[in-house]
Amino acid sequence: AQRVTQPEKLLSVFKGAPVELKCNYSYSGSPELFWYVQYSRQRLQLLLRHISRESIKGFTADLNKGETSFHLKKPFAQEEDSAMYYCALRDQGGKLIFGQGTELSVKP
Amino acid sequence: DTGVSQDPRHKITKRGQNVTFRCDPISEHNRLYWYRQTLGQGPEFLTYFQNEAQLEKSRLLSDRFSAERPKGSFSTLEIQRTEQGDSAMYLCASSVTGGSYEQYFGPGTRLTVT
């Protein structure tokens, strides 16, 4: 079965602390994975995708096929990073399969 | 082009009534997706179109739900005989096809069934 799991509903850190939002997936083919972010009162938007291997707003995510994980990391959290983060898998047909989401709260 | 738009943004209806939502995708995007999001959950796929053809429907999409994209531009999602369990945020997204395309999301329509 195709599934994305984000084990943490809420992650609370202090400004400047490292952040890791966990994502594990189950998929029988070659996965395409994404992180989407939703800031307060804004629409869902793409943060980064695994194939581009880029860093956006200081965030990176590495696909680990052995552990079937795609964790999102940032070395130094900022208050403006507070948002809902969703890990998503795109299947062969093109639809996205989302995890339950993790709310990141960065305290001053 | 200001991105994907959805109308209405909020809808309150009584159980048993029919409701219809509209989605206008980004103009050059030929794919259009509908998702549903309930409180505390991530978006769940409902259906998608490539141009005017509906290519996939989720098992979540009961017979009371129907979606159309008659001219390959805007799309409508209708729910007949609404139930309280239909209360959710209905999201629309659009994309181009080919390559590693990004899905752009609309602001959503929040449905409350009383």
Closest CA to A49 of A100, A88, A78, A92: A88
- CB neighbours (10 Å) of residue B85? 9
Please check the confidence at residue B25 and state whether its pLDDT lies above 60.
yes
Please check the confidence at residue B99 and state whether its pLDDT lies above 70.
no
Indicate the burial class of A53 (C-beta count within 10 angstroms; 0-12, 13-18, 19 or more).
exposed
Q: Chain B window 10-39: which residues touch A at a Cβ cutoff of 8 Å?
A: 31, 33, 35
Nearest to B48 among A6, A95, A100 (CB): A95
Whether A51 contacts chain B with CB within 8 A: yes
Please check the confidence at residue B1 and state whether its pLDDT lies above 60.
no
In chain A, which stretches have pLDDT less than 70? Answer: none
The nearest alpha carbon in chain A to B106 belongs to A43
CA geometry: angle at B20 spanning A101 and B36, to 5°? 15
